[in-house]
Amino acid sequence: MPEITLIYLHGFQSSGLAFKSQLLQNYVNQHSLPINVISPDLPDLPEDALILIDQLVEKHKGSSLVLMGSSLGGFYANIFCERKELASVMINPAIKPHQLIAGFLGDNTNPQTGKDYELTQYDLEALRKCYYHSLTNKAKRLVLLEMDDEVLDAHEAIAYYQGCQIGIFPGGSHHFDHFQRLLPFITDWVLNHIKETKVV
């Protein structure tokens, strides 16, 4: 089986060393799976993050590519599932992040990278413009939700991703506590979607 490139997109105020990305990388290595995990530090500003993701997608043109994103990273994965028809795994994904992070307007420091940045109304508008009111390519989405997510409304996500493959789990948190035990299922889903993930 040819190797799949999996780009892990971390959430808001996080980094490429996010705990879930490390668990994923360790699992892939331990089981010698044909998956190359790339987990970049995404820029804190949305437009810059989208540019970087687009560059990574273009870099792997002609190869088999899957996206996986958590929270804001899940929102980004959803965008590229629509734009590029890429198979994507979304974990407690943000639905309307322009509303979710509005409380961070102004000067911020990313606690994971130590980088300072300023979040403006322009950035929130950039996110709002990327919101899709309806979705295509629903078979190319795996959405994983925990009902006790303290940051995002799981019911909103269930309604938004209706028609996609959705895993709904009681309890949990925004960190998605079921992640490690679901890695066999998640990686099987990724491997089974290899024929649907080639970038053209």
Tally of structural domains, the chain: 1
Q: What's the whole-number average pLDDT of the chain?
A: 94
Q: Which spans in 85-135 are helix H?
A: 97-100, 121-129
The domain spanning residue 8 has which CATH number?
Answer: 3.40.50.1820
Domain range for 167:
4-196
Q: Residue 55 — φ and ψ, nearest 5°?
A: -65, -40
Band the pLDDT of 84: cuts 50, 70, 90.
Answer: very high
For the chain, give the number of residues. Answer: 200
Whether the pLDDT of residue 163 is over 50: the answer is yes
In 3D space, the residue among 110, 115, 173, 103 whose CA is nearest the CA of residue 145 turns out to be 173
